[in-house]
A and B are shown apart, each in its own frame.
Chain A
Amino acid sequence: MNSRPKILIVDDKPENLVVLERVLRDMNVELVKALSGNEALKATLHHNFALALLDIQMPEMDGYELAGILREEEKTNHLPFIFISAVYTDNLNVFKGYEKGAFSFITKPFQPEILINKVKFFVEKHQQEIELLQLNEDLVSKNRDLEDSNKALDSFSYSVSHDLRAPLRALSGYSKILEEDYVSLLDDEGKRVLNLIQHNAEKMGTLIDDLLMFSRLGKKNVQKTTINMAEIVDTVLTEIKQSRPYKANVKIKALPFADADQTLIQQVWFNLIENAIKYSGKTDNAEVEIGSFQSGKALTYYVKDNGAGFNMDYVDKLFGVFQRLHGTDEFEGTGIGLAIVQRIINKHGGEIWAEAKIKEGATFFFTLPIN
């Protein structure tokens, strides 16, 4: 690939070939000479040329005929030509296959600079084409690698969801048996330990679910429709209330419709609102405010609470997988919820960020582009 580009020069008169050699000697190219059309065709069997310089008037096979044959051959059908002729003709279309590739024309006697410039142009073009081809091949192979790792990830998630869950089920199931049938044999410490086993099994179940959801999001397509945000928030609040009774006073302000994926955005609201309720759970007069405003070409929605908040120094860690700013003894969590939220919002072409103060609360904002 890094060898010098090859140029085929064809002329029935050896002295003309010598002239061409002299003109082009300062260029970083390799010249292959041919004294007839047949010799030229033979040369194309052994070399890959960047360019051919063809004399038109030659006995047996003239330059046009040669060019026509080269255009028909697969190996040379895109080889550019420069015709060199003593007689000027604007009727270059006479050779077969002229429409297939680049060509040019020079009359003899020629100015060396003009020939050099033309040769340079074609050689550079040839090199760009080779680079492009190489790039394309790289892309194709990278794409194949990506497809492979996608498939590997798929079977990994499948395995996680099935094989990791099985022992976990046994763990929960058998501790349930202990709880139901043998609890009278356990003292308080035994009951506490049993409780911890069940609690941790449950936690691992949640962790597996969250991880799976996060990895599935990677290739899920966003299906945008017009969605009713107020309705979604309402559904989410009902759902949260069922699994986690809360005392926070939840204020819902106007929430305009958005163009987004209903299921995914519901997950965003769920995670953000559940967080707000969770982190204000230890605050007296806990308040959660859900609202929105328009800013330029995007709608911004927010969830605000007056709970535990966090130190803005660590804001960079907030959306990372498994990153938590609170200990699990303080607030439960898997550390995946906000990573999921960020992934969903990014997939919609929106942004997400947070503002907070320790012990004063946090506000999470996300934007969705307006069509």
Chain B
Amino acid sequence: MNSLYEIILVEDNLSDAELTIRAFKKNNIANPLLHLKDGEEALEYVFGTGKYAGRNIHEMPKVILLDLKMPKVGGLDVLKKIKSNEITKIIPVVLLTSSKQDKDILEGYQFGANSYIVKPVGFENFVKAISDVGLYWLLGNQTPK
């Protein structure tokens, strides 16, 4: 069941993506990570269509980090599709947002989001979100608490 990629980062802003990836590396999280640049790509990956046609969708990432505000297909739409599919709904999804006041966060929880992170992706922020979804020990080199 091991997926090639354990962390899927869906982020249209390249600077944000670079800084997020750096935050992982800085904190010894070296799990294979795939950066997808918009919601459409995310859906194609998760459901094995389009560019990712034929991918075994039972090979699931350990976590999807999903930006809320993206062109074409937004984060909430991606979330809804992932969480309303019997196979994919077990994948933990952590929302990335610019503001903790974002009303989309609340809506995100209603659609089954597991946690959220307010950018910038400070490590403390990240640790908290990852422990919220119970994945900390899977992703880090650290021993489980």
A residues with CB within 8 A of B: 161-162, 165-166, 169-170, 172-174, 177, 180, 212, 216
Contacts and interface: CB of A to CB of B under 8 A. Distances in A.
Contacts of B101: 161, 212, 216
Given A161-B101, A212-B101, A169 B15 contact: yes
B99 A174 contact: no
24 contacts: A161-B98, A162-B69, A162-B98, A165-B98, A165-B119, A166-B13, A166-B98, A169-B15, A169-B16, A169-B19, A169-B120, A170-B13, A170-B15, A170-B16, A170-B19, A172-B120, A173-B15, A173-B18, A173-B19, A174-B19, A177-B22, A212-B99, A212-B101, A216-B101
Contacts, number: 38
Given A161-B98, A170-B19, A173-B22, 12 more contacts: A161-B101, A165-B98, A165-B99, A166-B98, A169-B15, A169-B98, A169-B119, A172-B120, A173-B120, A174-B15, A212-B99, A212-B101
Contacts of A165: 98-99, 119
Nearest to B99: A161
Contacts of A216: 101
Report whether over half of chain B's contact residues are helix, strand or loop; otherwise say mixed.
Answer: loop
A25 to B, nearest CB: 67
B102 interface: yes
Contacts of B13: 166, 170
Question: 5 nearest interchain CB pairs?
Answer: A170-B15, A173-B19, A161-B99, A162-B98, A165-B98
Interface string B1-27: 000000000000101101100100010
Contacts of B120: 169, 172-173
Contacts of A172: 120
B66 to A, nearest CB: 15
B119 A161 contact: no
Interface string B107-127: 000000000000110000000
Contacts of B26: 180
Interface string B58-80: 00000000000100000000000
